[in-house]
């Protein structure tokens, strides 16, 4: 599904150009802020509470908690929709620089209650290990969004940026409504046998105790994240770039390069989300072997992330040409590729910390990161231009990882092994590249197909990693 989504984003980038992508990315940053208000940490609360109750065999209590949180989600969704309409003039004039009209915000407001309730139900299915229902729902949503966009876009392109953005938002909102309908039907099926599980206001305090701290810090984090995105084009203009070029550069980095770097993270984020209920169960049973579990997780994540980082670094030109039919993003992909390790590792650590019910700390870490990044953007962008933006990304990813890792170490006493978690995967990458070049030299041929070269590189790398992992296991 993420692969299809990436392909769709590439299609949009090639169809609309970097400037329009930059403007739409700015609109989506505002959209995501109000989605944060609509969801308000309830999904995380329901996942943790239900996981604990199921571990204690209290299935009826778990379902009561779900029904209570669904009502709360609906209320928050309506509040978020009302706020975006009330402040529409401010958002359009100040945040979006009058590039679009308030119609877009009205369409966004319609979808927010559906998003909030869907999020809550998805949190429940994650807790009871039925994530396939969430996956099917998201597949329907993505396919429908792509179909509607392809239908609406041809007529919108000739009418300008606002018409294009309205088409994209309409497709998103309608697909969210259909996704909600599907997941709600799944909820009704799950409801059978629990008709006596009424909404319990006794659970309200318990849900609030978990969701409120997460919600408050989420508001701050999401607000700062939105502010961060909003000031980038404006500060880039102060460096001497025109408005069009500022949005174009912003679109290249934020709308084209970062999605490519983040895309392979689907493999990490998939099991990272599943770590939340698993570590909640460890907490409930007071398992003392967390450092052993963390070592295994870190080993797998480092092997994967360093391999992907190396591929981006070595094949940046080929990837840029194949994906966007130009070399605009090639140098930026190469420059930012070492950050892949920190991005992916931070995803896993956040999943573990949330499972250990340290959601608030994760949010505070994100807030510290955002404050530092905003200060860098505000003061350095007018001086360094696009390189100030790149510097802010580097500082942000490393700082976020460092804060999360320190908290994990305090909780689990997990010891990061520099040799096994970093140096040996890098050595395996060097071996893989050397073997590939040696193979080409011996056979006196050049593998012009870069996809074949990437596959060959990855296979040699995995074999090398398997060998040293086997050796490490035998030593133990």
SS (H, E, C) 44-66: HHHHHHHHHHHHCCCHHHHHHHH
Span 269-274, average pLDDT: 78
pLDDT at 59: 73
Look at 8-12, 268-272, 464-468 and tell me which has the smallest mean pLDDT: 268-272
pLDDT digits (tens, 9 = 90+) for 412-456: 777 777 887 888 899 999 999 998 888 777 766 655 678 888 988
pLDDT at 286: 67
Contact 56, 127 (CB under 8 A): no
> How is the chain split into domains, by residue range?
1-200
219 falls in which pLDDT band (50, 70, 90)?
A: confident
Rounded alpha-carbon distances, angstroms, from residue 78 to 71, 141, 142: 11, 21, 24
Contact 310, 360 (CB under 8 A): no
Q: Is 70 exceeded by the pLDDT of residue 255?
A: yes
pLDDT at 390: 94
**Is 0.85 topped by the overall pTM?**
no
- Torsions phi, psi of 356, nearest 5? -85, 10
Cα–Cα distance, 272 to 353 (Å, whole number): 10
Count helices and strands (H / E) in the chain: 21, 0
CA-wise closest residue to 258 among 327, 164, 321, 343: 343
pLDDT at 297: 86
307 falls in which pLDDT band (50, 70, 90)?
A: very high
Span 352-358, average pLDDT: 81
Question: DSSP letters of 249-274?
Answer: HHIIIIIIIHHHHHGGGHHHHHHHHH
56 falls in which pLDDT band (50, 70, 90)?
A: confident
- Torsions phi, psi of 122, nearest 5? -65, -35
Rounded alpha-carbon distances, angstroms, from residue 72 to 52, 79, 199: 20, 11, 10
216 falls in which pLDDT band (50, 70, 90)?
A: confident
Look at 20-34, 239-253, 282-296, 413-427 and tell me which has the smallest mean pLDDT: 282-296
Distance of CA 130 to the CA centre of its chain: 21
Burial class for 280, CB neighbours closer than 10 Å (0-12, 13-18, 19+): buried
pLDDT at 380: 92
pLDDT at 199: 60
pLDDT at 201: 64
Cα–Cα distance, 184 to 23 (Å, whole number): 33
What does DSSP assign to residue 240?
T
pLDDT at 182: 92
b/e per residue, 85-105, with b = 16+ CB within 10 A?
A: eeebeebbeebbeebbeebbb
Contact 352, 279 (CB under 8 A): yes
Rounded alpha-carbon distances, angstroms, from residue 158 to 99, 102, 147: 16, 20, 19
Q: Is 60 exceeded by the pLDDT of residue 194?
A: no
Cα–Cα distance, 50 to 77 (Å, whole number): 22
Q: Is 90 exceeded by the pLDDT of residue 93?
A: no
Span 77-99, average pLDDT: 89
Q: Is 60 exceeded by the pLDDT of residue 195?
A: no
């Amino acid at each position: 599904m993420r692969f299809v989504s990436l392909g769709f984003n590439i299609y949009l980038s090639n169809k609309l150009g970097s400037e329009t992508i930059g403007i739409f990315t700015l609109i989506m940053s505002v959209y995501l802020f109000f989605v944060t208000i609509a969801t308000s940490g309830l999904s995380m609360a329901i996942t943790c509470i239900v996981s604990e109750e199921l571990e204690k065999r209290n299935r009826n209590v778990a379902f009561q908690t779900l029904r209570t949180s669904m009502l709360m989600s609906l209320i928050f969704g309506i509040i978020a929709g009302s706020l975006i309409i009330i402040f529409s003039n401010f958002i359009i004039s100040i945040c979006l620089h009058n590039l679009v009209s308030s119609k877009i915000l009205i369409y966004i407001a319609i979808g927010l209650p559906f998003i909030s309730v869907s999020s809550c139900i998805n949190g429940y299915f994650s807790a009871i290990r039925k994530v396939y229902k969430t996956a099917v729902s998201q597949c329907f949503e993505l396919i429908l969004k792509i179909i509607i966009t392809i239908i609406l876009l041809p007529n919108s392109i000739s009418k300008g940026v606002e018409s294009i953005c309205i088409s994209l938002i309409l497709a998103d909102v309608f697909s969210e409504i259909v996704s909600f309908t599907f997941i709600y039907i799944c909820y009704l099926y799950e409801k059978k046998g629990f008709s006596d599980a009424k909404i319990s206001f006794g659970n309200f305090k318990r849900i609030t105790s978990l969701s409120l701290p997460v919600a408050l810090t989420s508001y701050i984090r999401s607000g700062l994240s939105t502010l961060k995105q909003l000031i980038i084009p404006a500060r880039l203009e102060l460096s001497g770039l025109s408005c069009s070029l500022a949005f174009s550069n912003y679109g290249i980095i934020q709308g084209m390069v970062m999605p490519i770097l983040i895309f392979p993270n689907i493999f990490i984020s998939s099991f990272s989300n599943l770590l939340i209920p698993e570590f909640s169960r460890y907490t409930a049973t007071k398992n003392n072997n967390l450092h052993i579990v963390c070592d295994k997780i870190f080993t797998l994540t480092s092997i994967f992330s360093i391999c992907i980082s190396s591929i981006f670094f070595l094949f940046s030109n080929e990837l840029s040409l194949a994906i966007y039919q130009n070399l605009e993003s090639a140098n930026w992909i190469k420059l930012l590729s070492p950050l892949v390790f920190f991005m992916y590792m931070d995803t896993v650590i956040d999943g573990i910390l949330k499972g250990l019910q340290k959601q608030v700390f994760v949010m505070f870490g994100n807030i510290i990161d955002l404050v530092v990044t905003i200060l860098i953007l505000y003061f350095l962008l007018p001086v360094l231009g696009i390189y100030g933006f790149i510097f802010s990304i580097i500082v942000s990813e490393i700082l976020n990882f460092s804060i999360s890792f320190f908290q994990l170490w305090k909780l689990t006493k997990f010891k990061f092994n520099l040799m096994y978690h970093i140096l040996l995967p890098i050595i395996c990458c060097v071996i893989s590249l050397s073997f590939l070049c040696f193979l080409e030299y011996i056979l006196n041929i050049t593998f012009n197909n870069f996809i074949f070269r990437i596959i060959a590189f990855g296979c040699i790398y995995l074999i090398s990693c398997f060998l040293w992992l086997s050796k490490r296991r035998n030593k133990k």
